[in-house]
Amino acid sequence: MTRKRSKRKTRNQGPMLRECIIVGGKASGGHILGKTRDRNYVPRVRVIREVTPEGLEIVYMHDLDTDYMEGMNSNGIGIVNAALLVGDDEKAVKGKLSSDDGPRMKHALKKGKLSDCIKSLVSYKNGIKGHTMVGSPKSLYSIEMTSKHNPVVKKLDPNTGFDIRTNHGEEHPGAGYTPERKPDDFLSSKIRKATAEMELADEDDYENVMPKLAQQNFDTGSNYNMLRSTDNMRSASQVMMHLDNMEFILYLIPDECEYQGFQDDTPDDYSPKINVRIEEYVE
């Protein structure tokens, strides 16, 4: 893949919407976490590397418009999240552009142990809502919670294939999109999940995971595509983390986000532990 400058588009945003596909599993000999990030605005994103006072390195994608963050640390702990908006959560998103999800993510990434990271995700600032996948080279977990649903923490088995979450509830059937509340969006969420499972069946090369989730299986503009390009929802970027290999990859989608560069806040004599790659799809 080659890099290319992105151009900002004017778009009728309306209320801020956020939908995504997240994936966790095993590929290329280790645990991976990935995400396709959907937005109805053109985000300005930056990749940041820093070191905590305790000496833990963290690398994360930072959305400068909403203060959202997600990434991994040098103990091989990574986190991705997808929205499950219900009731109060929807009102909160419509009421302000930014939220506490970014600080929740960053607080959790500063934890050196996976168990402490999970505790942070379900408790700090009342916990991060939605589907969250968190893992290390040893194990992967899913967390599902909303403002109306208590957190369900479930250990995943990567040996059975990839686990994929979109924007409807798995442990909580009333969470996220439902056939009663938003039938069209519920159908989109179910189809995107099923398509992702089909695309990743038997895939073992982590370099292929996010490109496969960028396939257009339906007509351009269809809300059923994993990589969205509709009037009110477009995929802006993808993140891939190989937790064993200590690699973080940000995939830029042409014209759908504004990449603001790589910011290294580590000391001059610091030797990085996490390899960072920035890729961009070519149209």
Q: What is the pLDDT along the chain (283 residues), one digit of tens a residue?
A: 333 333 333 333 444 456 689 999 999 999 999 999 988 888 999 999 999 999 999 999 999 998 999 999 999 999 999 988 755 444 545 434 567 889 999 999 999 999 999 999 999 999 999 999 999 999 999 999 998 899 999 999 999 999 999 999 999 988 889 999 889 989 999 999 999 999 999 999 999 999 999 988 898 888 888 988 887 788 899 999 999 999 999 999 988 999 999 999 999 999 999 999 999 988 6
Answer CATH for 18-280 from 3.90.105.10, 3.60.20.10, 3.40.640.10, 3.60.60.10: 3.60.60.10
> What is the pLDDT, as a whole number, of residue 4?
37
CB atoms inside a 10 Å sphere around CB 8: 11
> What is the pLDDT, as a whole number, of residue 179?
92
Query: 131-166 in b/e burial notation, b at 16+ Cβ within 10 A?
Result: bbbbbbbeebbbbbbbbebebebeebebeeebbbbb
> What is the pLDDT, as a whole number, of residue 5?
33
First and final C-alpha spacing in the chain: 11
Query: 259-277 in b/e burial notation, b at 16+ Cβ within 10 A?
Result: beeeeeeeeeeeeeebebe
> What is the pLDDT, as a whole number, of residue 18?
61
Whole-model pTM: value is 0.90
Residue 31 corresponds to which amino acid? H
**How far is 33 from 139, CA to CA, in rounded Å?**
12
> What is the pLDDT, as a whole number, of residue 283?
66
